[in-house]
Amino acid sequence: MCCAIVSLLSLMGCSASSHKAAVQNDTTDRISVGTVQREIRVGMSSADVVAALGSPNMVTTDDQRREVWVYDKISTEVSYSASSGYGTLLLVGGTVGSGAASRSQRTLTVVVKFDNEQKVRDFAYRQSSF
């Protein structure tokens, strides 16, 4: 019985850690300031921008009917730490626990402006965290 409980707990731990690794390694749809600085250049084509950053969240036009692409990304990170204790007093058990949680968010907005030939004429980005 004891071995079965230990095996179950170790499998649960492996499952949680493998899920965490899968979530952290999921790089689909991730844009960073470094990617923008490294990849985006004035004069590059719209196809090259899509290859570097993916599809934009919003496409608009300016007063001269030139396209403006906006990438707006939000990332939320939640951390939780818990501790607990178990005590026995005259065959009566009880648990005592405490924990703390923290939450942070980061935003990244990238604006890419194109000329009449669908080439990048200007781009800007803004990052915040709170």
Condensed to tens digits (0 to 9), the pLDDT of residues 19-43 reads 555 555 554 557 899 999 999 999 9
* Residue 58 belongs to a domain: yes
Residue 18 lies in a domain: no
3-state secondary structure of 36: helix
- Structure confidence by residue, pLDDT tens digits, 1-16: 555 544 544 554 555 5
Total structural domains within the chain: 1
Q: Please indicate, yes or no, if residue 3 is contained in any of the structural domains.
A: no
Complete edge-to-edge strand list for the sheet that includes strand 120-129: 58-61, 67-89, 92-114, 120-129
Domain membership flag for residue 10 = no
CA distance 80 to 103: 9
The predicted structure's pLDDT at residue 8: 47
Q: How do residues 74-121 score in pLDDT, each as one tens digit?
A: 989 888 887 766 665 555 555 666 778 888 999 999 999 999 999 999
**Residue 80 within a domain:** yes
pLDDT of residue 45: 98
Residue range(s) defining the domain that contains residue 86: 31-129
Is residue 6 in a domain? no
Is 87 contained in some domain? yes
CA-CA distance, 98 to 96, in Å (whole number)?
A: 7
